[in-house]
Chain A
Amino acid sequence: MTTSPKTDPTTSPQAAQLRAQRRRRTRLHNFAAYTVLTVIALVMLYPFYWTLITSLEPTGNIYEAKLLPSGVSLKNYAAVLSGTTVPFLRMVLNSVVICTVGVIASVTFAALAAYPLAKMRFPGRDLIFYAILALVVLPNEAGLIVNYITTIKLGLLEQRGPVWDTITQYAAIVLPSVASIIGLFLIRQAYMGVPIELIEAARIDGAKELTIWRRIMLPLSMPTIAAFAILEFVALWNSFLWARILPLDPQMLPLSAGLLELSGTFATNSRATMAGAVLVIIPILIVFASLQRYFMKGIEGAVKG
């Protein structure tokens, strides 16, 4: 890039010329930028698009590169949804239950625990805060192993009866991810911004701490809480490793873990698995696209903190 030739800008014809030159250059720059942006977007999105159109094809050469499906049918979707080996609809229900319970529990617990850490004075507060902080840094490579042992020892996978088993297996899947340190820090940060005068006034009026928490802290920190809830939802919906490691009843698997089960079952029919993959992605894309602003805020807050 060269700078514009040195001219005396006080003379108007030359100034006009310069302006036109700059306009041309901006247009050229923008065109180049759009070209690069589009190429990157293709690299990022084509794999998803390719999976979608391949899952819609009834037959044909499955893995070849294509821009349009050779035919359209919902055969593969029917195969997945009516699958007897891997109960797809049941896995949808499992994921919904796990995500709902998990998000509500982790938001509630983090929002509760953050309150005294931000707005109360009591012995041991700073000690607890720094101990939690240290946990982020401490290596937790054996986490998976020990949590597995804990889950077995707690008897969460013992068979006692259909209803009881369902509840304990859900608990086994959800519990390890409920206490979210990032969530605690995000919400504590939001509480810090609540004016202490508000709380003091409520205390003088004789309000209970729980009331203050519910009526003042929660409403004023809603944007942060919402951001964290969305992050947590996406993380839970996407997590599969823990559920794959636990010796669960196939009936109990959440979607992301079940999809891998599916790819094992449908090893000869990848199209059905592709249809399953499309069905797993869609809810997340809807959540992400509609709540994007909160989501990004949560990510930035989590890293900046």
Chain B
Amino acid sequence: MSLTRPPLRQSTDTPQSAGRRSRTIRTTLLAYGFMLPFLALLMLYHTWPVIFGTYLAFTKYNIISPPEFVGLDNFRELIKDQQFWSGVVNSLKYLLVVPFIQLLSIGVAMLVNRPLKGISFFRTAYYVPVVTSFAVVGLIWTWMYQQSGPVNFVLMHLGLMQRDSSLLNNPGSALYAVMFVTLWKGIGYYMVLYLAGLQSIGRELEEAAVIDGATRWQVFVNITLPGLRPTILVCSLMSTISAVKVFEEIFVMTQGGPVGSTYTALFFNYAKAFQDFRYGYAAAAGIVVAVISLVFGLINFKMTRGGRVDG
């Protein structure tokens, strides 16, 4: 958010007529009146969850009886909870998506940045998976991954697969199969952002470099990439955080299976709350996930900035 503010007029006047003061009061009331419906809903559904969720993490709660304060018990139990940690490990494995999705999106953005005929058709086509619900996309890929389905057909014909068995039913490959769907759905989204980044660089620099005899590769490394730096920073941060918090695709495609191989940290959080009705324990898991995603977000931030103070 650019934080430009309307200039605050310095009040140099002495406490003047009551008229001015009553006008200020009226303006204030009006202003809050304008904001009231929005703020009321914001408090109820955004602020309150942060406060109450934090409190719940230190309680035992099943909705029926009132929350019972248990101190750090939930966190002690979490540390020993095998299922939770395997979920965290899977969420961290999911970070594998980040570099692939960024590199592919940059590549695709550069491709669709050319002034070719019909290029807007391709841009639109790549964006179709983005605007489709994970409910639909998850189902479509679940079918695509079925035994003797299209995915296996392609893999067998390329000689990448010997035995015709569904990738989603195999504990060794299920998580990666879901990752591919995340990648497939996300490319168009980041493509649009990188396209905006590319168009803000401008062609003059690149053209000047080409005239000076720079190769395409030199132009890419020395002009395009530095110009994209701020975009790369934002995009990889977003995809890192959403990788650690992966949930919807798991919910639709595997429900954590087969044999718990696609259990992720947030799926654990969901299952504890809505399958076992342990709301306090789930809230504690949520806090740990939030901290983990924050840490990885910071690591990512440091890495993409490369210690530089721009972007």
Chain A residues engaging chain B, CB cutoff 8 angstroms: 1-3, 30, 33-34, 36-37, 40-41, 43-48, 50-51, 54, 61, 63-65, 109-110, 112-113, 115-126, 128, 132-133, 135, 138-150, 152, 175-176, 178-179, 181, 184-185, 189, 192, 196, 209, 213, 234, 237-241, 244-245, 256-257, 259-260, 263, 270, 273-274, 277, 280-281, 284-285, 288-289, 292, 295-296, 299-300, 303-305
Contacts and interface: CB of A to CB of B under 8 A. Distances in A.
Contact of A120 (B4, B30, B111, B245): B30
Nearest to A259: B135
B287 A139 contact: yes
B196 A145 contact: no
B44 A150 contact: yes
Contacts of B274: 148, 245
Q: Which one of A116, A145, A237, A260 has the highest number of Cβ atoms from chain B below 10 Å of its Cβ?
A: A145
Interface stretch (B53-61, B86-94, B256-264): B53-61
A244 B247 CA distance: 14
B290 interface: yes
Contact of A140 (B50, B56, B154): B50
B192 A145 contact: no
**7 closest A-B pairs by CB:** A142-B53, A141-B286, A139-B290, A238-B133, A116-B31, A113-B38, A146-B49
A65 B149 contact: yes
Contacts of A144: 270, 273
B132 A142 contact: no
B143 A63 contact: yes
Nearest to A137: B294
B216 to A, nearest CB: 5
Contacts of A196: 6
Contact of A141 (B5, B28, B238, B287): B287
Contact of B39 (A65, A113, A259): A113
Contact of B131 (A119, A122, A284): A284
A44 B124 CA distance: 10
B234 A179 contact: no
A36 B133 contact: no
B129 to A, nearest CB: 6
Given A147-B49, A150-B45, A256-B133, A305 B63 contact: no
A273 B147 CA distance: 18
B160 interface: no
A113 B48 CA distance: 19
Given A33-B111, A41-B125, A140-B50, 4 more contacts: A63-B143, A122-B31, A147-B45, A257-B135
A141 B290 contact: yes
A113 B49 contact: no
A209 B30 contact: yes
Contacts of A296: 192
A83 B2 CA distance: 51
A143 B53 contact: yes
B116 interface: yes
Contacts of B283: 141-142, 145-146
Contacts of A146: 48-49, 52-53, 56, 283
A145 B56 contact: yes
B184 A44 contact: yes
B98 interface: no
B286 A1 contact: no
B221 to A, nearest CB: 14
B70 interface: no
B2 A46 contact: no
A186 to B, nearest CB: 10
Contacts of B63: 149, 152
Nearest to B47: A135
A239 B252 CA distance: 12
Contact of B128 (A36, A145, A285): A285
Q: Which one of A37, A46, A288, A295 has the highest number of Cβ atoms from chain B below 10 Å of its Cβ?
A: A37
A149 B132 contact: no
Contacts of B279: 145, 149
Contacts of B248: 241
Contacts of A277: 136, 139-140
A184 B38 CA distance: 9
A64 B125 contact: no
A61 B152 CA distance: 15
A135 B39 CA distance: 12
Contacts of B52: 142, 146, 149
A176 B35 contact: no
A142 B34 contact: no
Contacts of A292: 124
Interface in B127-151: 127-129, 131-136, 139-141, 143-144, 146-150
A224 B46 CA distance: 24
Given A150-B48, A263-B139, A299-B192, A50 B131 contact: no
Contact of A63 (B6, B116, B146, B213): B146
